[in-house]
Each structure stands twice: as structure tokens, then as C-alpha cells.
Chain A
Amino acid sequence: MRTLLFLVLVGLLSGTRPIPKEVMDSPPEYFVLEWKEGTRLHHEPTDFFIEIDSFGRQEVFALVDEKKAPILYTADIATPVCADGECKLMNMKFYWTLLGEYAGFDRYPMMPLTKHDHDVFEEEDYQKLHRLLNDDKSPLGRRTIDQLVEKPTMRTVNGVDAISGATITQVKEAVVSGALYSCYTAWHLVHGEIQAQLKANTISVLNKQMLVAMLYSSNDEYQLFALEKFSVPQYQEHYEQIALAFKTSTPLVRSIIAKRLISKYNDAPELQRPFWQAFDKVDSGSRSLLLKAVNNAPNYVFDILSQQLGSMSKNQLKTFLGHLFDKGKMSAEIRNNLLEFANSKNETYSYLVMGFLEESK
């Protein structure tokens, strides 16, 4: 009976589907991007599809805004999930970003995901699945399902490294308990070849507005992409937004900005100011990268940094003092800042500044 029902469902869900007519005016239920108020998206056909064994092609649509600018990609997916000879149907609507990254999913309330023991997914299970799908480097990616259900072995077999206990633990922590097969299937659907195709499609229609929108998004992949494509004039035109990204985005985005600070703003020293002013607001690694640019930085930078000595690590302080020494002259204000720091009882590295002041007398 169960087999019969399954076949009926397969029949219903396979085959080319019509373009969905409805306007999308609210975000997917599980979503990694921001959803701007008032956004209305329409489905547009693309040349892309996901091929699923015995189910055929499942079409991928672009979701475009009122101005026809692509915002997301989406596909309704019906796929069998088979474990131990028993197959169940998984129905989900997946979303991808313009760069082909996972963006989110909608579930179908009438067709909930189920676990191995037939319990339906709870809210926390969907949340966990969402987190898993959002991890593009999950160990699920480079393992076969058979490897993941095997017990870890202690030996290297024929030179191929057997899966380690550490990986098994990592996988266990990441997947929904009792739903390894569903998680595995969903992850590989989302992170399959379709990703590169969607990104290539976006690049083929890319325009200036889309790039600027990416920079102004809070998604770090979008920001990285925009920063990679921006010209020097664009860096300068949007410097305030780039400085904001420097303050608020991930250390990876910051590292790119810090590395390009001089090359992009060499002829516009004043535009560098907000980046240097953010020195004590960013992580330690970004501060170190910023300090690598200090030698070519405008003079006012030394005033700014001399007020932020307390946020510097030992190496950062040494670097800063080294450059200060090389510059040869110190304003009275900088000297005062250094003196105050050197005499502070609460600063771990005050002794370094004290030594520097003594040497540079």
C-alpha cells in the first residue's frame, strides 16, 4: 500500500511544472538573507534544472523584482530519500542566492519531513537542517552516505584515509538526529552542480546596480563579490558603505578591505579616515592587517592610533612603535598619548611604550 501511494505521488510531482504565478511578498520560512519590506518577487524561467533519479528534471526559476532584477533562485524539489530499502518522499522548496549559495527553504506543512522512526520534524529540526544547509563546507560534502554510516576504522585502507572519529562526531553534531539520509540528500541537492550554473548565470546578467546592491547587502559573500569586481572609482564612491562593512562584516571581508586600503585610496587619503577610526572596533586579526598598511598611511593615522594603544596586541604595539620610530618625528599630542599609556598601571604592555620613549629620547 505504501509503495502504491509513493508511486502515485511520484506521478503527481514529476514532469514539467507550470511557472508559478503567485507573487512572493514575504521571505522564505528559513532564510539567510535580509528581506526588504515591500519586496515583491516574480518567478521567471531559467535554463537550469536539477535532475533527480526516476523523477526527472526539476526546474529552477529566477525570482525577479518589479524591475526584473534577479534577486534569488528557487526550485520546488520532490525527491525520494531511501534508507535500508525503504523510500520516502521529501518535498521542499529551496532558494539560492545570486551567487548560487544556499539562501533558505520553505517546507510544505502538509508534507513534513520525517525521521527514520517516522516521527515528523519538529521546529528545532528544521532549524538544524537550515544551519546544516548553510554550511557549504560540511563534511557531508565529500563523503558518500555509506562512509557516514560505517563505523570509523583505525587503519588506513589501501592508502585511502578512512573516515576518522573526529569527522563522525562532527557529522553527528551537524545533522538532525535520526534523519541522516534526509539531511544528506538535501545538502547534496542544494550544493550540487546547480550552484556553479546559477553563479555563472548571474555573472552573465550582472550590471552596476546589482553589484552595488550586493555591497549594500549584509551578506558577506555578496560583499566579497562586489569588492572583487569594484573599480577604484567605485571603491571611492562607496567608501562609506565599505567602511561600514569593515566595521560590521566578517573578519574575512575586513581582511580584503584592509589589504586594499592603500591601493584603492592612495590618492584619496581622507577617505581612509573611517577605516582607521574603526581600529578598536574590529577583531585583532583585522587590526594586524590594517597595521601592515600603516607605513603608507596618511600622517593623521598616527594621531588616531596613538589614542588606541590599549586595543593593540604586543606585536601590534611593536609594529606601530617601529613605524613611529622610522617616521622620526612625533607630535606633542602623540607623545602625550604614549606617555599616558606608558605610565598606566592597567596596561599589560605599558613597558613596551616606556622602553620606546626612553630609546627615542
Chain B
Amino acid sequence: MKTLHYITLLCVLLGMNRLIGQDLLVEAESFDNPGGWTIDPQFEQQMGSPYLLAHGIGEPVQNATTQVSFESPGEYHIWVRTKNWVPGDWEAPGQFQLKIGEKTLDKVLGLRSGWGWEYVDKMGITDKQIDIELVDLTGFDGRCDAIYFSTKYEEPPSAFKKLVEWRKKVKAEPNAPSLTKSYDLVVIGGGIAGCAASIAAAEEGLKVALIHDRPVLGGNASEEIRVHTLGIYGNFERILKKLDTEHYPNGSAEAKADQKKRDDNVKSYKNIDLFLNHRAYDAKAEDNSIQYVDARHTATGHRIRFTAPRFVDSTGDGWIGFWAGAEFNYGRESSETYGETWEEHGELWTPTEPDDAVMGSSVLWGSKETEVAQEFPDVPWAMPVAKKYARVAGEWQWEFSSPDHNQIDDTEDIRDHMLRAIYGSFANAKKDSLNSKRKLEWVSSLVGKRESRRLVGDHIFTFNDAKEGRKFPDGVVIEVRDVDIHYQTVLEDEENPDFISEALFYKTPQYYIPYRSLYSKNISNLFMAGRNFSCSHAGLGGPRVMRTTGQMGAAVGFAAALCKKYDVNPREIYTGYLEEYLALIERQKFEKIPESKK
């Protein structure tokens, strides 16, 4: 059996050596064949695991199937870890059933509020090997994390901390991964920044591990999220052209063409070991220096420990820094903190008092005209969010941020809020006879985030650095793009949908981001590139776009090469090797002359 299932014998000895209990935990993401279900690892840190999602945009998806082995026959109680993602006074949107062997069990799943276990049934298992299927009933994002068989009628814990402990115990998982791999540089996060960092470092001869939790590279620019890249190439045109996108409309299927280009280019570097479908889940620092990063395969659960003298946090959410104890910021600084006021837009630009507001996350989507009439079901559970809003596609303005949601802790709720906005708005649009032949074509199940943790470096890049075009001796990233900060339009009018944003644009001269914003202030061997670089909330407004973050990545990759050459940490490149670093950045602009041509 290909898939790794966790079988543990929980033997309880009661006076005599009698086996009275056997448990079997089947992780849904480890199914042999997920069918039409997709593996969703986005919320592992919040709800405990990757899970299977029936993202059929209104049409039930094909069954997920797997085969499991039982050590011994017997009567088994069955639970499924799931949740009703829109609890309320309506039929739950994401319903599914469990099929065991030839029998579809009656119990409809996906009905409980909040992640936890739903009891399915008791069943006699006679075969050692048995097929299990997940049968989607709705096509509207039913979700299954795991299936648990136990001869004892004892529901596993639902509370998060207890569940984590329970899972470890059931899987008999030791603390450390059994496999350790060592590199010159470990890059975590395969968005444009992480890819650029990997390429730059690899070109200078470093052995690089690039860890990414999706099957394809590019993050927000990938065909899975479909945001086009903006900004300029700066010093790194040659590298960034291998990774960026055309200026297609956000959400366009044209993202697929750039996907192939990007994946092929990164894979062409022999000294980049690419760990796709691996999600980092821990980092350990000693004496403020990261010793290792642990990652887990999003389907098999197989774990690897990565060691290296230096690491790059391109996770977007700054997870590596967070786990390692790096200083970080979240939310908006007061306008006084760095003097980042813009009188015209007042509180919407920077607040008088600091707060936790940040730019929101987008979920892009689209529909298409067809030749025949197309039905779309009623979605009463979506209407409290969509209200009367009617649209047939969603661009960048489809964005959600609210004081009730943290962009890290509540990402699943944010994604789900956007799904309700999308399905509801499309259902409204379908009521117009003009859209009778229109069919929902694509809705991302991935959250395209703009802002969350910002790790703190030796320099915190602010709006004023951009506004004044401030020059730095280490200004390695160059940008001309306006600073734009988003806010939710509902702030100005309660009648506006709460999932639509507006942008405030400040026209700037050419500006520069110093290298000192690209490594951690207190974790000595940690670089950061991407939206989690060292900046203020308003400072992120300009350079959060992906050619700019790509520049950060490339800048960091080249710095890592010099770190290796002199066996120094990122800060020392600024204090001791800046001239050589800048010369390297100049030199790399052109293809190296092959040995044969010299």
C-alpha cells in the first residue's frame, strides 16, 4: 500500500494480557487517490492538518478513494473529523458521506460547527484490507480531515492542543523527523521571492533547498491564485523574467502559460533541490541562530529536517521567523510612529492610534459564457455575505479584512467568507436572464494574501522612504510603482459589501529598499524576502507586488552566496562586504560566459 496510514495498537492491559482495543487513523490527505477532492494544507497551523476539500464550485466532485489495512477484524466505531463551514439556519453547504467497502453509510457528514469529530456508525470489519471512499454530495467545499476507527466508543479530542497530542500518540510519531538534509541555503516559500532567492544563490554555486507547500511555484502569481506580477525588474531583470507573468487580468487562465515557464526555469537549476508539496511546520533557533527547519509532505505526512548555515523566510506569513523567535510586527503603526501621514486620506492611510488592521486577502474567480442554459443552485448560506451584490467575475477588489479576523489565525474563515461572497454574488447575477448561459468557470480555493506578519530587520522600510525616494548605500531593490494601500469600502458605507476593497495611490519618485530590510534584526542567520520583509504597514503599500518581492529574493540569494564565501551572517555583508556585494549585483545582470567560450 502506497499511502502511509497510521496504525497503532493501543493495548490496554487489564489484569491479564488481553487486547481490547485497536485504533486506526486515516488521514484524508493521504488517500491513494483524492479523486476530485483537493488537498488543502493552508490552515494546518490553525486546525491541525492538511485536509481534503470538495471544491466543485457547485458540482459534486469525484469520490476520493483509498485502501486501508486492519490488523484484526472486529466491531469498529467510526468518526470523521470535519466541520460545517457555514453553520446556520440552512442546509449545510459541504455535505458528504463515507463509503466503506460496498456500503455507503447513511450518516451525512459536514454538519457540526467548528472542526471536530462526527460519529458515523458502528461497523463490523471482516476483511483485512478494505476500500474507503469520500462521497461528495454538494460540490460546495465539504471538508474531511481524517477518519478514525476504534473498537472503543471513545471520541477523540476536538480541542486543538489535546488533538495535537492525541495525533502524535496515535501516529506514534517521534519529535524529530527521521530524515535530515543539509544545504548551503534553505529557502522556505516558493513564491516569486523564494524562487528568485533560490535561483540567485544556485547561480553562485550554493546548494539550495526550496520548500514549497503547493504542487506549483509562484505563490500569488501561480495558476492556482492568478495575480499578475507588478513592479519593475530593478537590478534583477535576467532572473525575474524567468519567473514573472504577463499583465493578464487578475484571475485569468493565462496564468497557466507563465506557470510552465516558471516551473521549468527553477527546475533547470541542478543545485536547487525542490521540495514541492512540503509545508514547513517548525523552526528551531539556539542562541538566536536557526538550527533547522522541519517540513512535512502535505499528502504523505513524510517529514524532513533541513539544516543549513542560513535560511530565507519567504513564507509570506513570516512563519520561520515566528517559530525562531524573530521580532515581527502586525497591523498598522500610528501615523506618529514613523510620520507616515497623508492628510488627504487621514485614518484610512495611517491611523491616529495603532490598530490590527491590515490589507486583506483575495480569492479570485471567473465565469464564462456557454452555448446552452446553465443552472446554478440556490445558495442561501451565502446570501448573508453576498446580500444583493451581483457579479460574474472577481478582480483584486475582491478582498477581505476585518477587525474580527486575523490574517493568519483566521485564514480559513477569511477564505470561506470570500467563497460565500463569490457563490452568492454569482447566484445573484444568474437571476439576470442575460446570464442564463453563464457558467462558473473557476474559483480559487487558495487565499491570496497581501499582508500579515512583517519581520523586523536592521532597517524598517517606511512610506517616507518611498515618498522621499530616500537613497541608501545598500539600496539593492529599486521600485517606481505607486504606494497603494487598500481599505475595505464598508468602512465608508455600511451598505457596501464587506468583501470589496478600494486602493489609495500615492505617486512616488523612484525609491529604494535597503538590504538591511532583508535580514532579521535578532535572528542572526535569517534572511527574509517577500511581503514579510522589514517594513511598516504603509511601507508595504508599494513593494508588496511580486516583481519587487522578486527583487528582494534575488538580492538575498546573492548575499547568501557571499555569506558562504566568507562564512559570515547576513548583517556582516552590510558591515564588511557591501562593496563586493554591490559589485556582484552589477555583475550578475549579464549571463555568465560559458567556460567553452572563454
Of B148-156, B265-273, B485-493, the one with at least 4 CB within 8 A of chain A: B485-493
Judge if A206 is at the interface, Cβ distance under 8 Å. no
Does B594 touch A at the CB level, under 8 Å?
A: no
Residue B180 at the A interface, CB < 8 A?
no
Among A152-160, A301-309, A333-341, the stretch in contact with B: A152-160
Interface range for B: 35 or more
Indicate if B397 sits at the interface (CB-CB under 8 A). yes
CB 8 Å contact bits of A237-255 with B (1 = contact, 0 = none): 0000000000000111001
**B492 in contact with A315 (CB, 8 Å):** no
Task: Please indicate the chain B residues that have their CB under 8 angstroms from the CB of A286 in the complex.
Answer: 403
Task: Give the most central of A166, A256, A288: most B CB within 10 Å.
Answer: A166
Known: A224-B346, A288-B402. A153 touches B247 (CB 8 A): yes
Name A287's closest neighbour in chain B (CB-CB).
B404
Given contacts A224-B347, A252-B492, A348-B88, contact A259 B480 (CB under 8 A): no
Confirm or deny: B113 has a beta carbon within 8 angstroms of a beta carbon on chain A: yes
Known: A250-B494, A284-B404. A166 touches B507 (CB 8 A): no
Interface string of B127-139 (1 = CB under 8 A from A): 0000000000000
The segment out of B36-44, B58-66, B348-356, B439-447 that lies at the interface is: B348-356
Tell me how many residues of A have a C-beta within 8 Å of chain B.
42
Report chain A residues within 8 Å CB of B503. Answer: 137
Q: Given the complex of chains A and B, what is the CA–CA distance between A49 and B351 in angstroms?
A: 32
Residues of A within 8 A of B404 (CB): 284-285, 287-288, 313, 315-316
Q: Are A288 and B403 also in contact (CB < 8 A) when A224-B347, A250-B491, A252-B492 are?
A: yes
* Cα distance A186–B505 in the bound complex, in angstroms: 20
B172 at the interface (CB under 8 A from A): no
Does chain A have a CB within 8 A of B578? no
Q: How many A-B residue pairs lie within 8 Å, measured between CB atoms?
A: 95
- CB contacts (< 8 Å) of B403 on chain A: these are 255, 285-286, 288-289, 292
Bound CA span A164–B245, Å: 14
Q: How far is the CB of B208 from chain A (nearest CB, A)?
A: 28
Near B by CB (< 8 A), chain A positions 273-293 give 283-289, 292
Is A88's CB within 8 Å of the partner chain B?
no
Report whether A348 and B230 are in contact in the complex, using a CB–CB cutoff of 8 Å: no
* Chain A neighbourhood of B233, CB < 8 A: 159
- Given that A252-B347, A313-B404, A351-B114 are contacting pairs, would A154 and B492 also be in contact in the complex, using a CB cutoff of 8 Å? no
Cβ–Cβ < 8 Å partners of A195 in chain B: 344
Q: Do residues B249 and A164 form an inter-chain contact, with CB atoms below 8 A?
A: yes
Contact yes or no, A259 B396, CB < 8 A: no
The A-contacting residues of B in range 96-126, CB under 8 angstroms, are 113-114
B230/A156 in contact, CB under 8 A = yes
Contact of A166 among B231, B250, B347, B505 (CB under 8 A): B250
Residues from chain B with a CB closer than 8 A to the CB of A287 are 404
B502 contacts A162, C-beta separation under 8 Å: no
A123 interface hit (Cβ, 8 Å): no
Known: A166-B250, A289-B403. A161 touches B347 (CB 8 A): no
Q: A348-B88, A348-B113 are in contact. Are A161 and B402 (CB under 8 A)?
A: no
What chain A residues lie within 8 Å of B494 (beta carbons)?
250-251, 283
Contact across chains for B247 and A284 when beta carbons are under 8 A apart: no
- Extra contacts besides A164-B247, A284-B404 (13): CB < 8 Å: A154-B248, A155-B246, A159-B231, A159-B233, A166-B396, A196-B344, A255-B347, A255-B403, A255-B491, A288-B402, A313-B404, A348-B88, A352-B114
Report which B residues bind A (CB closer than 8 A): 87-89, 113-114, 230-233, 246-250, 343-344, 346-348, 351-353, 355, 395-397, 402-405, 410, 413, 480-482, 490-494, 498, 502-505, 507
Q: List 7 A-B contacts (CB under 8 A).
A: A142-B482, A142-B505, A155-B246, A155-B247, A220-B492, A252-B491, A289-B355
